[in-house]
Amino acid sequence: IKNVGDEAERRGNVRGEILDDEGGSERFETADFSGPHFVECYVIYGNQVVARDRIDVPIHN
């Protein structure tokens, strides 16, 4: 999940790190911001990105 921009900075919630799925195939998180979002997914094998995709996730209050 990536948070950028003035609102994320004001809330102290800037982020964009790549997180390990810890051996599973899914990850659950909550959202603090409404509006258009997206998730970037990466498959890493041998320290190389071998696949990636982007999924749009609109979030409404």
Contact status, residue 18 vs residue 42, Cβ threshold 8 Å: yes
Q: What is the pLDDT along the chain (61 residues), one digit of tens a residue?
A: 778 888 888 988 888 888 777 777 787 888 777 888 888 888 889 999 999 999 888 888 7
Q: What confidence score (pLDDT) does residue 19 get?
A: 79
Q: What confidence score (pLDDT) does residue 45 get?
A: 92
Q: What confidence score (pLDDT) does residue 49 get?
A: 94
How many alpha carbons lie under 13 Å from residue 40 in its C-beta half-sphere? Answer: 12
Q: What confidence score (pLDDT) does residue 52 get?
A: 95
Residue-range domain boundaries for the chain:
6-59
How many alpha carbons lie under 13 Å from residue 42 in its C-beta half-sphere? Answer: 11
Q: What confidence score (pLDDT) does residue 48 get?
A: 95
CA pair distance 45, 26, nearest whole angstrom: 17
Q: What confidence score (pLDDT) does residue 10 get?
A: 92
How many alpha carbons lie under 13 Å from residue 34 in its C-beta half-sphere? Answer: 2
